Structure 1
Amino acid sequence: MVESRPVFGQVQRRLPDPSLVEVRAGVSLDTLHAAGPGPTVVFVHGGLGNLWNFYPQLDRFYGHRELVAYSLAGNGRSADRGSHTLSGHVSDLADLLAALGIDRPVLVGWSYGTALAVEYAKTHPVAALLLTAGGAYGLTPAWEWPVLKLVTALHLYRVLPGGETLKFLAKRAMLHQATPDAVVDDLLRSNPLPRRASAWRTVTDAFWGYDGRPGLETITCPALVVHGPADRVVPMKVARATAQLLPHGQFHELDHAGHVTLAEQPEAFAQLLDSLITRADVS
């Protein structure tokens, strides 16, 4: 039986329109906020991403949970914050949730977003934590730093390729070989390469070289680390070790997935998130 997969354009039309939420003077974050029962599920995207990275999960949980997805400062339609530090982005998230009146969310971080989710959970109440395609360290492949620096230094983000070239690179670097072309096309529609220098600086300035293993013992909420065996960006051992270091961490290997678990296996990922939410409800 072929799994029915959400289509980005249809999901985007079905969900509420995002709006700019001011978190401090001069900094507004492009935010999708959908009403529903608690606990609130908050999605934190990765490097060069935006709030629509989680469209399969937004579609799956819309109407069933209160949902928040936002573009980090300097990404998507969000304002640039001038300087990009991990602590600054954690403060942005805290201010955003305060502005929306949300406390103790279920926090879902993807790729570099796992670093932000981990650091937020160290210093703020969290009902549960889900990390996917990332972990508490080892998020930067060796080839990434020179590529990102070259792109920003020469302003190549203005002329980077799309279409079949980008699709080929995505399949070679990030995805399971069996991921259908239709899914890859939809991923690229939801997350075209950003043409803003600030999105690229977010990675190089805030996330590169992250090591958040000190302090993981303070995160005492239920935690789940999900990883695809075909992930060629972040090693599986990083995810396993992160789960072991979290006091209530569990690890799950999601078959037939690479670096984009939440879209490559959307229903399996949603079931894992649903199970974690149940743990948060009763904890």
Structure 2
Amino acid sequence: MKLQTARGTVGFEESGSGLPVVLLHGFPHDRTLWAAQLAAAPAGARMIALDLPGFGESDSAEVPSLDHWADWVVAALDALAIERAVIGGLSMGGYLAFALWRRHPQRILGLILADTRAGADTLEGQEKRVAMQAQVLKEGPGAIAAAMLPGMVGKTTRAERPRAVEYLDAMMRRASVEAIHDALDALRTRPDSTPTLATITVPTLIICGEEDVLTPVKESEAMHAAIADAQLALIPGAGHASCVEHPSAFNALLSGFVQARFP
């Protein structure tokens, strides 16, 4: 579906009714990352998955920065008549959740931080983003998908869940050159959110696949230690894309959090 906002067109899907839970995908994904979560919406929850700027059916943002994207998400909330929501983000979506908390804390009821980290890119990481921008301009999204897929899933998924691997590969190949290029700018220039962690005052669920090599468990443990009202849950046999790799475990954690903390 498409939504018209003050910031342009936003692609989205939703299911269920009640407490708004807005899900923000990773890089270079789209809203279909959350298909299994929307298919199993917890009782009393309105699950909404957005295409982030340039991905899926969403227009590109005027400025490729996470701060600008945070305002873009709030415009989507306004268009959906949502005053406050639980914000969930995986990887890049988690970085965006931090930006939302800094800029619009009054719109956030709770946070779900999945397979993400608080830190900014290292200099080496920034250089890799620039190299990837050159690669996508020269070789297209398929080359980016091929380069990222091995780290996107855990060893168990690679060995036992070929459909999940194929699903993620196809999703990444659908991304446009412009979306990938702009998102890499937003990722490369994002600030260190470590100081933000101590300011988070809403209930927070931190989820990480035990086999995540892109944002390892130690990153989630550090966030858990720094956020006052946080719980940490690990998913065995899952890597970075835990919501796709082991959806039943992910959904159980999400449902338990929503129903326990927002009855």
User: TM bucket by the smaller chain?
Assistant: 0.7 to 0.9
Matched, 1:175 2:153: yes
* Corresponding residue of 1:149: 130
Report the CA distance between 1:193 and its aligned residue: 5.0
Find the aligned partners of 2:123 and 2:73 in 1 and give their Cα distance. Answer: 28
Report the CA distance between 1:190 and its aligned residue: 3.5
- Are 1:29 and 1:78, in contact at CA under 8 Å, matched by a contact in 2? yes
* Corresponding residue of 2:140: 158
* Corresponding residue of 1:228: 209
Residue pairs, 1:75-224, within 5 angstroms:
75-122=55-102, 123-137=105-119, 140=121, 144-153=125-134, 155-158=137-140, 160-161=142-143, 166=146, 170=149, 172-179=150-157, 180-192=161-173, 194-206=175-187, 208=189, 210-224=191-205
- Are 1:231 and 1:259, in contact at CA under 8 Å, matched by a contact in 2? yes
Find the aligned partners of 2:139 and 2:62 in 1 and give their Cα distance. Answer: 18
How much is the aligned-residue C-alpha RMSD, in angstroms? 2.5
Label 1:216 to 1:144 Cα distance change in 2 as closer, same or farther (>3 A). Answer: closer
Find the aligned partners of 2:138 and 2:43 in 1 and give their Cα distance. Answer: 41
Report the CA distance between 1:221 and its aligned residue: 1.4
**Larger strand fraction of residues:** 2
TM-score of the superposed pair, with normalisation by structure 1: 0.81
Label 1:95 to 1:195 Cα distance change in 2 as closer, same or farther (>3 A). Answer: closer
**Larger helix fraction of residues:** 2
Report the CA distance between 1:98 and its aligned residue: 1.0
Q: Which amino acid aligns with 1:277?
A: V
Deviation sequence 1:197-240 (CA, Å, 0-9, x none): 23322222345554112232332111111111211111321111
Find the aligned partners of 2:168 and 2:207 in 1 and give their Cα distance. Answer: 19
* Corresponding residue of 1:55: 35
Q: Which amino acid aligns with 1:219?
A: I
> Unaligned stretches of 5+ in structure 1?
1-17
Find the aligned partners of 1:90 and 1:39 in 2 and give their Cα distance. Answer: 20
- Amino-acid identity (%): 23
